[in-house]
Structure 1
Amino acid sequence: MLHLVCHPGGRPLRRVLCLGAHADDIEIGCGATLLHLARVYPQTRFYWAVFTARGERAAEASASAKAFVGDALEATALWDFQDGFLPYAGAEVKACFEQIKRAFVPDLVFTHYREDRHQDHRLVSDLTWNTFRDQLVLEYEIPKFDGDLGRPNGYVACDEALLERKIRLLTAAFASQAGKGWFSEETFRALARLRGIEANARYAEAFYCRKLALF
């Protein structure tokens, strides 16, 4: 397995864009990775965008973004599109992407897995690639009823302490999701353990990297 270190002696990682269809997607998909980046690259700035954040969910998303990356959070952009109906507002969502593009030029973009069976997730992934052409894009995964987990080709290993911090922040931030059977510490720990096995590590978060320019 090839291990790469981000910018070991070259241009540092400065700007990270985090895109999520729903209020907890970013944290579920790449929360441990973001905690790691915020710690290792203290100069990095994060832009947090969530497209279906209404009422309580908007407040949760805003507070969670701050909890995960702290003062490194440059901006939080929240829209109140209806959950489950995102593709039917495609033009309006695309306009939001253009707004983000004008406000923030990232080095790295985290977005949804393109083959995710949730329609909101797929639209966000498609528009990510439609909008950002000069950035490294990593697609994260969300466990769900559809059983659409794929075969990722990128991993970020994390130790037990980092994973537990992610889970603690995630479950504390999204009290509105506590009644859902899948939203549990057991789910998040199990997926991280499975991906850890694939990465030859104890725990890991997994990503899909479709295009990578080397050197």
Structure 2
Amino acid sequence: MMLPLAPARAGEPLSVLCLGAHADDIEIGAGGTILGWIAAGVRLDVRWCVLSTAGSRREEARASAGGFLQDAARADIELAGFTDTQFPEESREIKAWLCELRARVRPDLVLTHRSDDAHQDHRELNRLTWTVFRDHLILEYEIPKWDGDLGRPNLYVPLPPNVLERKIDLLLSHFASQRSKDWFDAETFRGLARLRGMECRAAGHYAEAFHVRKAVLGLRSGA
């Protein structure tokens, strides 16, 4: 039996820190979850951070984040300039950047890459996230790619069909630089969401999936 867990109800605040190595990472891995919470009436306070944004990818990242966070209660977008594919070599500088960020934010929830993602930048950002935000609830999102590195997630967020379609529309409209990739299309995003929706028996048939390494289960106080 699955016990549904809700980080916040309609009208309640929720502070989320989203960390992505590259433009489109957060959107692919957790964009539907963010859109779904906003659509459900959660008062979402989002800090959206993309660490590698060079050339046209910088404007893509900013425009896409603005589209996904258009109706959030609060949205702060931060774009850094670390080097694509070189995160392990720039680990010291990235850790210092994350430590400075931690001094400014107090998120209820952190979204980041999976620990065993095949991309070296994704793995390094995951490792540093766990080093810097060790007292936070961290959900690790997944990104489909030709490496075939999808794992066995243990947390699911069901997505209504309209929310999934909104996610796909935003991805396809904002990331012109990725359209030449044979996996970057609506079929891939919809197919993975359908598979994850089947795994958690989502009423709307679709879901995004996450990996949770460590969590504390408590009881809500109040009436």
Instruction: State the alpha-carbon separation in 1 of the partners of residues 102 and 41 from structure 2.
Output: 22
Amino acid at match of 1:208: H
Instruction: State the alpha-carbon separation in 2 of the partners of residues 194 and 39 from structure 1.
Output: 22
Q: TM-score, normalised by structure 2?
A: 0.91
Equivalent residue of 1:14, what SS? strand
1:98 matched to 2:93? The reply is no
Give the superposition deviation at 1:74: 3.0
Which protein is richer in helix relative to its size?
1
Kindly indicate whether the alpha-carbon contact (under 8 Å) linking 1:13 and 1:107 is maintained by their aligned counterparts in 2: no
Cα separation, partners in 2 of 1:101 and 1:184, compared to 1, 3 Å:
same
1:211 matched to 2:220? The reply is no
Equivalent residue of 2:67, what SS? helix
Cα separation, partners in 2 of 1:204 and 1:91, compared to 1, 3 Å:
same
Instruction: State the alpha-carbon separation in 2 of the partners of residues 117 and 41 from structure 1.
Output: 35
Cα separation, partners in 2 of 1:105 and 1:185, compared to 1, 3 Å:
same
Equivalent residue of 1:66, what SS? helix
Kindly indicate whether the alpha-carbon contact (under 8 Å) linking 2:15 and 2:45 is maintained by their aligned counterparts in 1: yes
Q: Identity of aligned pairs, percent?
A: 51
Aligned to 2:221: none
Instruction: State the alpha-carbon separation in 2 of the partners of residues 22 and 63 from structure 1.
Output: 14
Kindly indicate whether the alpha-carbon contact (under 8 Å) linking 1:13 and 1:41 is maintained by their aligned counterparts in 2: no
Amino acid at match of 2:216: A
Give the superposition deviation at 1:71: 5.2
Amino acid at match of 1:134: D
Gaps of 5+ in 1: none
Amino acid at match of 1:32: G
Instruction: State the alpha-carbon separation in 1 of the partners of residues 61 and 9 from structure 2.
Output: 32
Give the superposition deviation at 1:83: 1.1
Superposed, 1:12-51 pairs within 5 Å as 12-51=12-51
Aligned CA-pair RMSD: 1.6
Count, aligned residues? 214
Give the superposition deviation at 1:133: 2.1
Aligned to 2:65: 65
Cα separation, partners in 2 of 1:210 and 1:13, compared to 1, 3 Å:
farther
Kindly indicate whether the alpha-carbon contact (under 8 Å) linking 1:54 and 1:79 is maintained by their aligned counterparts in 2: no
Superposed, 1:147-186 pairs within 5 Å as 147-186=148-187
Gaps of 5+ in 2: 219-223
Give the superposition deviation at 1:5: 2.0
